[in-house]
Chains A and B, each alone.
Chain A
Amino acid sequence: NAGVTQTPKFQVLKTGQSMTLQCAQDMNHNSMYWYRQDPGMGLRLIYYSASEGTTDKGEVPNGYNVSRLNKREFSLRLESAAPSQTSVYFCATQGQGSSYGYTFGSGTRLTVV
């Protein structure tokens, strides 16, 4: 039972390049989230998906797009990477019912040069 799996773990991009960060969960959760984490800034929400087929913007969506391919997978795409997008990216899922706690993946460390 892997929980939440993110790929890749590390990536270096040149300014202007594009890439897709992948996230897959085996927890049968409806809700999935993409956060970025910068030093001293905590976790900031980029996009989220309440269920398969729906996506919504979070606090810092500019420069990103997402796809909720199916219930298991939620990908984050950078169309034209910028140095300001250097960060650690976390995917998370949210349980249903009485507990709203998130389960996080191990993160993707992205550097844009």
Chain B
Amino acid sequence: GESVGLHLPTLSVQEGDNSIINCAYSNSASDYFIWYKQESGKGPQFIIDIRSNMDKRQGQRVTVLLNKTVKHLSLQIAATQPGDSAVYFCASNTGGYNKLIFGAGTRLAVHP
């Protein structure tokens, strides 16, 4: 079946370092991808999205890279801060109605 998965369940980084969170997807028909951030006790929040006609998109301190050849996307966070500590989910659309499929999440822990 379809899946959107993450390579590492937990990522620990030092404050100020860059973070890279990876995600693989399985549906070749997916053409829209999103990263969400979920802080403890809160709902997921939209970070950045990318369409399949792009391979890179930048936001404020975040960059998403998409490699359609190997069905892989990554989220890069520059100069990671304690406030970046959260669980990060990737999601992709499916064929048809554009419902999203979510990965299990990667916990990012930022240490001072």
Residues of A within 8 A of B (CB): 4, 33, 35, 40-43, 45, 48, 50, 58, 90, 92, 94, 99-107
Contacts and interface: CB of A to CB of B under 8 A. Distances in A.
Contact of B46 (A4, A50, A101, A105): A101
B101 to A, nearest CB: 8
Interface in B84-102: 89, 93, 97-100, 102
Given A42-B103, A42-B104, A100-B93, A105 B43 contact: yes
Given A48-B99, A94-B98, A101-B49, A41 B104 contact: yes
Interface residues of B, number: 19
Given A100-B93, A101-B34, A40 B43 contact: no
A99 B57 CA distance: 14
Given A100-B93, A102-B44, A107-B43, 8 more contacts: A42-B89, A42-B105, A100-B32, A100-B98, A101-B46, A102-B34, A104-B43, A104-B44
B106 to A, nearest CB: 11
Given A42-B89, A50-B97, A102 B103 contact: no
Contacts of A107: 41-43
B25 to A, nearest CB: 13
A100 B33 CA distance: 9
A40 B104 contact: yes
A54 B43 CA distance: 25
A60 to B, nearest CB: 13
A106 to B, nearest CB: 5
Contacts of B41: 107
